[in-house]
Structure 1
Amino acid sequence: MENLIINNLTKGYFKKKALNNFSYSFKKGMVYGLIGPNGSGKTTLMKIIYGLVKPTKGSLSFNNNKISFKTRKNIAFMPTEDIFMSNLMPCDILKFYNNNFEDFSLEKAYQILENMKLPLNEKIETFSTGMKMRLKVTLCLARDVEFYMFDEPLNGIDIISKDLIKNTIISMTTKDSTILISSHALNEMELILEQVLFLNEGSLIRDINLEELRDTENKSLESLYGEVYNV
């Protein structure tokens, strides 16, 4: 069943189009990958879906409702930016989220935090980049929503953090939720993703099911990336 439908979405910044007539329908129970070089429109698309950026033209609907502040309540978004104050501890941040998001589950957050092997009462300033990323993913997944978005969750982090994040996302995937992940870590993400969207200069240039890619073309995601972008 489709929950997010996008039609002819365009976003222009001065003379450049960050998105160019992007159309797609996302389904429940699927894990999607958003792939493309820097500047291809991945982050812009996510920010428009979450309502942080307004499109120049085109339309988006979530469960038949126009994207707005109200629909944001059904979408969780993990941005690339660092969102933590260094003097806070995870316990402080979890309390803040619990007080500000009706769909946030403290019980779920504590469980994910344990799975991520993160301390509850240590200041963020002592955390490595990988630990901060694990905490960001935890906060996103602890919300009970239909649509989860992660912008580069494996970027610049250690192998242990990558494995913990991948395993946690896989374990949290349900038939009622949709997950959209942008990433350059193709080898690692191939184990998680089901459907991959390739973007270039704001346009959707290819959309492929990874199971079909392996079965019919006998290719890896990384090799297909090389073909699509001629690298």
Structure 2
Amino acid sequence: MIRVLVADDQSLIRAGLVTLFTAAPGFEITGEAADGRQAVELATHTAPDVILMDIRMPILDGIAATRELLAAPHGNRPQVIVFTTFDLDEYVYAALAAGASGFLLKSTPAQRIITAVQAVVAGDMLLSPTVTRRLIEAYAHQHRTRAIAGPRMADLTPRETEVLRLIGNGLTNAQIAQHLVMSEATAKTHVKRIMGKLGLSSRAQAVVAAYESGLITPSLPVDHRHA
């Protein structure tokens, strides 16, 4: 059973999502939040697996709520999916940098929303390589992640650095394994170690880190011939 929390200041959006997941087998709604502060409080008490998080909400916006939830030192951290009207929005970039697992447009078809939630619970990134590059390249040159630059990147082994570069290029664990001629389980272990060393909470955040650290240069073509 996948537990979902809906956070949006528009009651019609919340009602639609609640109806969608209530009717879908294998899902449970843990609550509805009309602002970011409610989202944090409800998530703390109900421990959802996934939060569909609007960005522009009163009291506490979705970015600040995401950052607060994913920075918590205790308990299970939920997967956060940013639910937005705009597909190229610096607010979305900021949410990904804060640790969100990906984003969906509010115009996304119902079945795609369900599939997306299942994907992030399974540990997959919710952004296609094309959308990831377009979003991050638009803002990466304006940002530098101080917590990741320098000592933390230096903690990575050469192999882990290469794996991070491939994550940044949008490759899945299976594609990384094929590219580097290793088992998928080994690739998954490398990804887990990278996340731990860099203090990252989502695969999308690892993509942001790869760009912001300079490991990937924005606007260069990505070679997927080995994927």
Tell me if TM exceeds 0.5: no
Higher strand share: 1
TM-score normalised to structure 1 length = 0.34
TM-score normalised to structure 2 length = 0.35
